[in-house]
A and B are shown apart, each in its own frame.
Chain A
Amino acid sequence: NAGVTQTPKFRILKIGQSMTLQCTQDMNHNYMYWYRQDPGMGLKLIYYSVGAGITDKGEVPNGYNVSRSTTEDFPLRLELAAPSQTSVYFCASSYRGSSYNEQFFGPGTRLTVL
C-alpha cells in the first residue's frame, strides 16, 4: 500500500491564480481530511469528508473548496490564491469503525503564494 499520496510536493503561485492539490489513499478509508500547517504551529483542519459525496467544513475553510466523488480521492481547490494561503498542506485519511479513528497523513504539499 502506498498509503496517502499527495501531489505536487511543492508549488509557487502568483496572487489570484488557482490550483488543485491532489490527494489519494489506497487503504479503503472512508474518512478523509485536509489540514494546513503554518510555520511554528500545529495543523488546522480545512475540510473533511466522511464518504463519497459528503464534505464538511473544518476550522479554516475560507478560500478553499473540496469534492469527494470517489472513496480514494479528495482534491482541495484554491481559488484566487492569497499570500495568507502560503502554508504546508497535509491530507489524511482514517477508517471510522466504532470508536477507532486513527488518522494517517500524506507527505504534504508546500505552497507559496507571491
Chain B
Amino acid sequence: GIQVEQSPPDLILQEGANSTLRCNFSDSVNNLQWFHQNPWGQLINLFYIPSGTKQNGRLSATTVATERYSLLYISSSQTTDSGVYFCAVGGGSEKLVFGKGTKLTVNP
C-alpha cells in the first residue's frame, strides 16, 4: 500500500516565523488532504489538494503529484497554529492513508 512520510516530526517556532512542512508519498494519488489537529484533538480540514497550489490566508499548499510530494507553508505563525499537522493520501480507493504528522509548537 501507499506509504506516507512527513517531515520534520517536530518543529518549534517563535511567533511570526514562517515554516514549511513536507509530505512524501510512495505512489500516485488521486486524493491528498492536509489537516490540523488542534490541542483538543479536533481535526480541521486545511486543504484538499491532489495537485496544484492553493492558498487560504496565511496558509498555502503545493502538491507536485509527478514527484510525489506536497508542501504546506505557514507564514507569520501564531500560537493558535500549534498542534499536529497531518497529510493524508488516497490512491485509487476510498481509503485515506495518514502520515504520522508534524507536531508544531509556536511560542509567544
Q: Which residues of A contact B (CB under 8 A)?
A: 31, 33, 40-45, 48, 50, 58-59, 88, 90, 94, 96, 99-105, 107-108, 110
Residues of B78-108 at the interface with A, using a CB-CB cut-off of 8 Å, are 86, 88, 90, 94-96, 98-101
Asked whether, in the complex, the Cβ of A48 is within 8 Å of the Cβ of B42, the reply is no
- CB neighbours of B100 from chain A (8 A): 40-42
Which one of A31, A41, A102 has the highest number of Cβ atoms from chain B below 10 Å of its Cβ? A102
B26 close to A (CB within 8 Å): no
Q: A42-B88, A99-B30, A102-B33 are in contact. Are A48 and B43 (CB under 8 A)?
A: no
| Interface bin, chain B | 20 to 34
Q: How far is the CA of A96 from the CA of B92 in the complex (A)?
A: 12
Q: How many residue pairs at the A-B interface have CB separations less than 8 Å?
A: 52
Q: A42-B99, A43-B88, A99-B30 are in contact. Are A31 and B94 (CB under 8 A)?
A: yes
Asked whether, in the complex, the Cβ of A48 is within 8 Å of the Cβ of B95, the reply is yes
CB distance from A50 to the nearest CB of B (A): 7
B31 close to A (CB within 8 Å): yes
**6 extra interface residue pairs, beta carbon distance < 8 Å, beyond A45-B96, A99-B50:** A45-B95, A48-B95, A96-B94, A101-B90, A101-B94, A107-B41
Q: A42-B86, A42-B88 are in contact. Are A102 and B45 (CB under 8 A)?
A: yes
Q: Digitize B48-90: 1 where CB-to-A-CB distance is under 8 Å, 0 elsewhere.
A: 1010000000000000000000000000000000000010101
Asked whether, in the complex, the Cβ of A88 is within 8 Å of the Cβ of B95, the reply is no
Residue of B nearest to A90 (CB): B43
Q: How far is the CA of A45 from the CA of B98 in the complex (A)?
A: 9
Q: A42-B86, A42-B88 are in contact. Are A102 and B48 (CB under 8 A)?
A: yes
